[in-house]
Structure 1
Amino acid sequence: MLNLIELLSFGPNGWGDEIAYGALITIQLAVVTLPVGIAIGLLVALAKDSRSQVLRGLGNLYTTVFRGLPELLTLFIVYYGGQMLLTRIADYFVPDAHIEVNQFVAGVVALGLVLGAFSSEVLLAAIRAVAKGQKEAASALGLSTWNTFRLVTFPQLWRVALPGLSNNWMVLLKDTSLVSVIAISDLMRQTSIAVGVTKQPFFFYLVACLIYLVFSGLSSVVFTRLETRASRGFKRVGGH
């Protein structure tokens, strides 16, 4: 048992620093991806709620594609496909040019596209949950469409959307493990390297499980507080 604990020590004889670094990369990737995915999701939700048939069609196409594709396949398409596309574009200006796509950026883009597709459904439902009478009242007061969204719709939709977005965050946190296949030194990749060197798969994968559970537990606490704060002053119908 002591030998196993020593494997998690920091320094040249242990894997504690590598595992900690991988955990940091994992949480950084998730935190950076979250606003990207929510921003994409909000734009898609607005498109699907618009009066334009073209925008609604594009929004529905987007969610159908990125909700239907496996996350790993999306990651490969963004990383390798993006690299090929950028190289071909650069080749028009600089012959024989070769563009290397940053793995972290590719991970953020791929996971952001997937998160945006799922978040758009949550945000669309939240937008439609805001009473039409409030929008009509804002229009009667002379507010523009943008100001109506910014001052009336946007502050209210978050209260409705937070539970769904918190679920999407939990899924995103787990999906970050996929980026290890494009050589990002996240928690899963560092754990796999440690397993390959030490031949202790059960121990290190158990440590990784515990770290993911800690992340999930802390996330639950944060989102619960956000939901409580967002619901302040809101009286539930039929509540006590």
Structure 2
Amino acid sequence: MDLPAFVSLLGFSEKGWGPALLTAAGMTVLLSASGVVLGALFGGLAAFARLKGGRLARGTADAYCTLFRGVPDLLTIYLLYFGGSSLLTAVGRFFGAQGFVGLPTFATGVLALAIISGAYQAEVYRGAFLAIPAGQIEAARALAMPGPLMLRRIILPQLLRYAIPGLGNVWQLILKDSALLSVIGLVELMRQSQIGAGSTRQPFVFYIAAAVLYLVITFISGALIRRAEKRSLRGVRRA
């Protein structure tokens, strides 16, 4: 394919695929960000359970982290979407509904990414908490500092500082995992590239374009993460 035809195919003209690919890239970022944010809740709860919970809470958190870090991410998506849809269909038939009842693809995709990312974020938060010098927490307790105040002034600032590099790795993982959501019909960047490749019979062009867009997203997010990490280290003495 010559350069003018290539530019026309991926351009912003009436027949160009540029707007569709950029919209799909935005969907990829939205899915990944939503999954990481919601996963922070799951991961925080699991980390707290493993650090401070009782035997049942620790066992539940350990099982959650082990299961979703050990099972292939694609299998998690399949089980959540098709298993949930089958359950919803069975419930609908019980109440007299007819036909297949599918789960919303966007909500299911975000939940799947959140469950996966939460299992990894739990380890990040747990490791970050253990990296906080124990003497600081003991000193706060000796001064009778209330728990919420100690959490806000001592634990959270340092926990986030230690967690940023690990969270950056989790973000990259979830960004790539978002491509797996194409199997449930969600039109993100990978799915849109497949549609374009099938419609124009130019798979090389569209998959290269998708690779470039993924790399751009990775480069920008990586720069933002490095800036956040550098900012978190302001005022910290280095050896």
Whether TM exceeds 0.5 here: the answer is: yes
- In the TM superposition, 1:113-152 aligns within 5 A as 113-152=115-154
Report how many aligned residue pairs link the two structures: 236
The gaps in structure 1 that reach 5 residues or longer are none
Q: In the superposition, relative to structure 1, how do residues 82 and 141 fare at CA in structure 2: closer, same or farther (>3 Å)? A: farther
Asked if 2 retains the 8 angstrom alpha-carbon contact of 1:11 and 1:17, the reply is: no
Q: In the superposition, relative to structure 1, how do residues 54 and 208 fare at CA in structure 2: closer, same or farther (>3 Å)? A: same
Q: Does 1:106 align with 2:108?
A: yes
Please name the residue that 1:95 is paired with: 96
> Deviation of residue 195 (structure 1)?
0.5
Give the whole-Å Cα distance in 1 for the aligned partners of 2:7 and 2:13. 13
Please name the residue that 1:84 is paired with: 86
Give the whole-Å Cα distance in 2 for the aligned partners of 1:103 and 1:164. 28
Provide TM-score, normalisation by structure 2.
Answer: 0.92
Question: In the alignment, which of 149, 159, 162 is matched to residue 160 of structure 1?
Answer: 162
Give the whole-Å Cα distance in 1 for the aligned partners of 2:91 and 2:195. 36
> Deviation of residue 65 (structure 1)?
0.3
Q: Does 1:72 align with 2:80?
A: no
Question: In the alignment, which of 173, 176, 186 is matched to residue 175 of structure 2?
Answer: 173
Q: Which amino acid aligns with 2:222?
A: S
Asked if 1 retains the 8 angstrom alpha-carbon contact of 2:24 and 2:192, the reply is: yes
> RMSD between aligned alpha carbons?
1.7
Please name the residue that 2:32 is paired with: 30
Provide TM-score, normalisation by structure 1.
Answer: 0.92
Deviations 1:41-87 (A, max 9, x none): 11111111115122211111110000011111101111122223344
Q: In the superposition, relative to structure 1, how do residues 142 and 168 fare at CA in structure 2: closer, same or farther (>3 Å)? A: same
Q: Which amino acid aligns with 1:39?
A: L
The gaps in structure 2 that reach 5 residues or longer are none
Asked if 2 retains the 8 angstrom alpha-carbon contact of 1:66 and 1:114, the reply is: yes
Q: Which amino acid aligns with 1:41?
A: G
The structure 1 segments of at least 4 consecutive aligned residues displaced by more than 6 Å after TM superposition are none
SS at match of 1:49: helix
Q: In the superposition, relative to structure 1, how do residues 13 and 231 fare at CA in structure 2: closer, same or farther (>3 Å)? A: same
Please name the residue that 1:47 is paired with: 49
Determine what percentage of the aligned residue pairs are the same residue: 38
Deviations 1:164-210 (A, max 9, x none): 11011011111111111111110111101111111111111111111
